[in-house]
């Protein structure tokens, strides 16, 4: 491999590690803001989004520069293409984390409602999927990537359970309907975060095996 290509790929990998860590941390902070109805933490998540957006643009520019200057082939080409796709998914995860934080900030200003344990479960599961998917990218671990894909069914199941819980709470106490609708919005965001983590895991499988598994029903 040409030394300049290796240098640029190594720099791209370092940028992706940093970007992934920042997105994961913001997602964890959004969960903390929601769990504690903490407006200050929520505002921190929101404030960091501009920097995350800048990092996303820098990585995209880096990928395009590598494609234009070096015209990589085989696994190097797959890596750059994979990074482009994962970069976009990470930025969207960051956006959903901001949406969760905004809901948490609103909830912190309203009479508190008891958050169901299933909400904590879907939040932790989806963020854990993001971490696992990023670890898969670093380690190029296909088996672990397939496990992340399988976890998406659990998140989808929790979303359905929480829909029923929220509906029951609104019927029981209509005065708190506004809060419960905010809560359900966060459920939808966590479900989408789980979907995006699955996308990342699928892209890792493509990177390692050259197999496109997106939209396939079976991963095992």
The fold of the 3-209 domain, in CATH, is Methane Monooxygenase Hydroxylase; Chain G, domain 1 (1.20.58)
Contact 138, 207 (CB under 8 A): no
| Backbone phi and psi for residue 188, each to the nearest 5 degrees, phi listed first | -60, -40
Q: How far is CA 89 from CA 7, 61, 202, in A?
A: 25, 16, 12
**Which of 131, 197, 120, 195 lies closest to 162 in space, CA to CA?**
120
* pLDDT single digits (tens) 190-218: 999 999 999 999 999 999 998 787 756 54
Using DSSP, state whether 35 is helix, strand or coil. Answer: helix
DSSP assigned state of 174: G
**Which of 211, 195, 209, 34 lies closest to 129 in space, CA to CA?**
195
pLDDT-above-70 percentage for the chain: 97
Q: Average pLDDT of 92-110?
A: 97
Count CA atoms within 13 Å of residue 143 on its CB side. Answer: 0
pTM here? 0.94
Q: Which two tokens stand for residue 20?
A: 């992934």
Domain ranges of the chain: 3-209
* pLDDT single digits (tens) 11-60: 999 999 999 999 999 999 999 999 999 999 999 999 999 999 999 999 99
Distance, in Å, from the CA atom of 71 to the CA atom of 199, rounded to the nearest integer, reads 25
Q: Average pLDDT of 119-136?
A: 97
**Which of 92, 74, 69, 88 lies closest to 11 in space, CA to CA?**
69
Mean pLDDT of the residues in the chain? 94
Distance, in Å, from the CA atom of 215 to the CA atom of 58, rounded to the nearest integer, reads 29
Q: What is the pLDDT of residue 52?
A: 97
Element (H, E) at 42: helix 39-47
Q: How far is CA 8 from the centre of its chain?
A: 26
Q: What is the pLDDT of residue 66?
A: 97
């Amino acid at each position: 491999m040409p030394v300049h290509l290796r240098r640029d790929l190594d720099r791209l990998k370092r940028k992706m590690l940093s970007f992934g860590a920042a997105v994961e941390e913001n997602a964890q902070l959004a969960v903390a803001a929601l769990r504690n109805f903490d407006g200050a933490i929520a505002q921190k998540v929101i404030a960091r989004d501009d920097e995350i957006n800048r990092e996303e643009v820098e990585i995209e520019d880096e990928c395009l520069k590598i494609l234009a200057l070096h015209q990589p082939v085989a696994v190097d080409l797959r890596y750059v293409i994979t990074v482009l796709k994962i970069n976009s998914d990470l930025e969207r995860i960051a956006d959903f984390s901001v949406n969760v934080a905004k809901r948490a900030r609103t909830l912190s200003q309203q009479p508190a409602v008891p958050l169901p344990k299933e909400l904590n479960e879907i939040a932790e599961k989806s963020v854990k999927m993001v971490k696992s998917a990023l670890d898969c990218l670093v380690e190029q671990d296909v088996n672990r990537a397939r496990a992340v894909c399988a976890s998406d069914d659990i998140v989808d199941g929790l979303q359905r359970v929480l829909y029923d819980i929220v509906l029951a709470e609104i019927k029981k106490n209509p005065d708190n309907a506004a809060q419960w609708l905010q809560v359900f919005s966060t459920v939808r965001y966590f479900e989408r975060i789980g979907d995006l983590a699955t996308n990342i895991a699928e892209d890792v499988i493509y990177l390692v095996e050259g197999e496109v598994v997106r939209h396939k029903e079976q991963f095992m």
